């Protein structure tokens, strides 16, 4: 049953904990209700905002339209063959619960993506990634509904135009489709991704020997690393990485390296190097900065935080100051990864 409410506070529905409201609000738990909703004549021209867990959104002001919280649940094993298992999950399924389900069933491929806040439906939007794995590596297909026509469509991998924190849903199809469910292709025999960052080190600390390694160990290691540097949104408002890691030319990287010999960089193809924005922001002096109730996390400079009553425009102004100071110091433009509404 659809229950469209008026003037609903969005504070519990965005992990930044920004206190704004939605003119209209509805929680959608199944595809029939979504169809009904999209065909209600009184809402056809109302601006719509689709949210999952609200973990990648910064609200600057009240939303004068209809917020649709996608809450379609359900996880099922669709089919399997000799090497793969295909799992379908509803858009509203909590991402980490799905990861835990797969890890427990020994379906491999998602373990490096443990503890990422958010929902299944939001995951392909920005091709979530962490610790050497991106969603697109385990993505099979998704179903989505067109916001204006209600037409439902299946998108295969090639249709999604995935990139680093990018997909077709943030580019040419932005604002057009609502993702209702995602199917993942997982491996029966795991390929372990342990080379990124502190994973190997953490596994050693955990006392896990290489010949005994399991996807559960990797999941546990990722959880430990994330807990050690990323603030828990239930305690301190944040949306994970606020900026994307910028990609610069090899020539520019080499010039900067002569000035900053510790500059980290990961080659992307021959002439492009990805540089961690967290490092740039830290070097520009922002790590641990606080002004009123907004600031930069003390253990990961890429994360902006709301200590309580911070407003969206305060966070955005801070973000702009950071962008400017990184540009002045390094000549590198960093852009938000978070959706600013
Ligand atoms: N670094 C610093 N100072 C900082 C933060 C980072 O010097 O304050 C340096 C680290 O020392 C390291 C490098 O930057 O050399 C990379 O740091 P980290 O491994 O923490 O990852 P990141 O590049 O800052 C990205 C993702 C995260 C993801 C991690 C792990 C983006 C925008 N962010 O962060 O994703 O969890 O890698 O894979 O790509 C998110 O998208 O919300 C998110 C948290």
CATH number for the domain harbouring residue 267? 3.90.78.10
Q: Is 241 a catalytic residue?
A: yes
Residue 309 lies in a domain: yes
* Residue in the structure block whose two tokens are 């916001």: 147
| Percent of the chain whose pLDDT exceeds 90 | 97
CA of 119 to the centre of ligand 1 (A): 21
Tell me which of 45, 70, 95 is where a domain ends. Answer: 70
pTM of this prediction exceeds 0.85? yes
Question: Is residue 312 within 6 Å of ligand 1 at its C-beta?
Answer: no
Q: Ligand 1 pocket test: which of 133, 282, 302, 336 has the largest number of ligand atoms within 8 Å of its C-beta?
A: 302
Same domain for 194 and 156: yes
What is the arithmetic mean of pLDDT over 201-219? 95
pLDDT of res. 311: 97
Vertex 60 angle, CA 55 and 63, to 5°: 85
* Predicted confidence (pLDDT) at residue 336 exceeds the cutoff of 90: yes
Average pLDDT over residues 176-196: 97
Mark whether 81 and 164 lie in a shared domain.
Answer: yes
In a domain, 91, yes or no: yes
Whether 202 and 125 share a structural domain: yes
Q: Which of 241, 247, 274 to mutate to test the pocket of ligand 1 (most atoms within 8 A of CB)?
A: 241
Say if residue 88 is in the same domain as residue 58: no
- Domain extent for 54: 5-70
CA of 275 to the centre of ligand 1 (A): 10
333 is catalytic: no
- Residue 90 Cα distances to 94, 119, 281, angstroms: 9, 9, 37
CA torsion through residues 338, 322, 319, 306, sign = positive
Q: Are residues 90 and 195 both part of a single domain? A: yes
Which tens digit of pLDDT belongs to each residue from 231-285? 999 999 999 999 999 999 999 999 999 999 999 999 998 999 999 999 999 999 9
Contact 48, 89 (CB under 8 A): no
Q: Give domain status of residue 214, yes or no.
A: no
For a pLDDT cut of 70, what percent of the chain falls above it?
100
pLDDT at 328 over 90: yes
Residue at 229 is within a domain: no
Instruction: Flag whether 191 is in a domain.
Output: yes
Residue at a domain's end among 54, 70, 86: 70
pLDDT the model gives residue 165: 96
Instruction: Please tell me which residue in 114, 167, 219, 241 is annotated as part of the active site.
Output: 241
Q: What is the pLDDT of residues 22-46, one digit of tens each?
A: 999 999 999 999 999 999 999 999 9
Residue 172 has pLDDT above 90, yes or no: yes
CATH code, 154: 3.30.465.10
Tell me which residue has its CA closest to atom 41 in ligand 1.
241
With contact defined as beta carbons under 8 Å apart, do 273 and 265 qualify?
yes
Q: Is 245 in the pocket of ligand 1 (CB under 6 A)?
A: yes
Question: What is the maximal distance between C-alpha atoms in the chain?
Answer: 63
CA–centroid distance for 225 within its chain: 17
Instruction: Report helix, strand or coil for 41.
Output: helix
Query: Of 8, 50, 15, 1, which Cα lies nearest the Cα of 235?
Result: 15
**Cα–Cα distance measured from residue 336 to residue 9, given in angstroms and rounded to the nearest whole number:** 25
C-alpha dihedral (247, 222, 185, 152), degrees to nearest 10? -70
- Tokens encoding 204: 């050693």
Whether 95 and 40 map to the same domain: the answer is no
CA nearest ligand 1 atom 29, residue = 130
Average pLDDT for residues 150-158, to the nearest whole number? 98
> Which residue, by CA, sits nearest to atom 31 of ligand 1?
244
- Whether residue 231 is contained in a domain is answered as no
**Is there a single domain that holds both residue 81 and residue 200?**
yes
Mean pLDDT (whole number) for 108-117: 98
Are 46 and 124 found together in one domain?
A: no
User: How many domains does the structure of the chain reveal?
Assistant: 3
- Predicted pLDDT of residue 196: 87
Same domain, 169 and 84: yes
Q: Is the predicted pLDDT of residue 6 greater than 90, yes or no?
A: yes
User: Residue holding tokens 């200590």?
Assistant: 307
Could you say which of 224, 252, 268 is where a domain stops?
Answer: 224
Average pLDDT over residues 6-13: 98
Taking a C-beta distance cutoff of 8 angstroms, is the pair 202, 221 a contact? yes
**Residue at 213 is within a domain:** no
pLDDT of residue 256: 97
Alpha carbon of 9 to ligand 1 centroid (Å): 31
Contact 303, 243 (CB under 8 A): no
Write down the catalytic residue from 165, 219, 311, 314: 165
Would strands 63-70 and 48-51 be described as parallel, antiparallel, or unpaired?
parallel
Q: Examine the domain organization and report whether 196 and 167 are in the same domain.
A: yes
Identified catalytic residue from 111, 136, 220, 337: 337
287 lines ligand 1 (CB under 6 A): yes
| Residue 185 banded pLDDT, cuts 50, 70, 90 | very high
If you measure from the C-alpha of residue 302 to the centroid of ligand 1, how many angstroms do you get, rounded to a whole number? 7
337 Cβ inside 6 Å of ligand 1: yes
Query: pLDDT band for position 163 (50/70/90)?
Result: very high
pLDDT at 1 over 90: no
Whether 138 contacts 185, CB under 8 Å: yes
| CATH number for 21 | 3.30.43.10
At residue 210 the predicted structure's pLDDT band, cuts being 50, 70 and 90, is confident
Q: Across the chain, what does the average pLDDT equal?
A: 97
Q: Are residues 140 and 200 in the same domain?
A: yes
123 and 202 within one domain: yes
Count of C-beta atoms within a 10 Å radius of residue 39 = 11
């Amino acid at each position: 049953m659809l229950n469209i409410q008026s003037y609903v506070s969005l504070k519990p529905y965005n992990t930044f904990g920004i206190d704004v409201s939605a003119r209209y609000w509805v929680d959608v738990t199944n595809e029939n209700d979504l169809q009904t909703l999209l065909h209600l004549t009184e809402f056809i021209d109302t601006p719509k905002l689709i949210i999952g867990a609200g973990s990648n959104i910064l609200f600057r002001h009240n939303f004068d339209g209809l917020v649709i919280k996608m809450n379609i649940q359900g996880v099922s094993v669709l089919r399997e063959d000799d090497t793969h298992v295909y799992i379908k999950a509803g858009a509203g399924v909590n991402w980490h619960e799905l990861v835990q389900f797969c890890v427990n069933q020994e379906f491999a491929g998602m373990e490096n993506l443990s503890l990422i806040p958010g929902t299944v439906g939001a995951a392909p939007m920005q091709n979530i990634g962490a610790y050497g794995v991106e969603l697109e590596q385990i993505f099979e297909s998704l179903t989505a509904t067109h916001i204006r026509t209600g037409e439902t469509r299946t998108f295969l991998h090639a249709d999604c135009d995935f990139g680093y924190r990018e997909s077709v849903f943030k580019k040419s199809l932005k604002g057009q489709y609502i993702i209702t469910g995602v199917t993942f292709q997982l491996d029966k025999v795991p390929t372990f991704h342990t080379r990124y960052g502190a994973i190997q080190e953490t596994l050693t600390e955990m006392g896990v020997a290489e010949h005994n390694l399991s996807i559960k160990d990797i999941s546990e290691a990722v959880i430990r690393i994330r807990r050690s540097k990323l603030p828990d949104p239930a305690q301190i408002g944040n949306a994970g990485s606020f900026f994307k890691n910028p990609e610069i030319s090899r020539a520019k990287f080499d010039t900067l390296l002569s000035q900053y010999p510790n500059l980290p960089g990961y080659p992307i193809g021959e002439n492009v190097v990805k540089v961690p924005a967290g490092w740039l922001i830290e070097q520009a002096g922002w790590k641990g900065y606080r002004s009123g109730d907004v600031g930069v996390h003390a253990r990961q400079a890429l994360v902006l935080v709301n200590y309580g009553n911070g407003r969206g425009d305060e966070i955005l102004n801070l973000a702009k100051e950071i962008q400017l100071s990184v540009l002045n110091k390094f000549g590198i433009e960093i852009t938000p990864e978070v959706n600013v509404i």
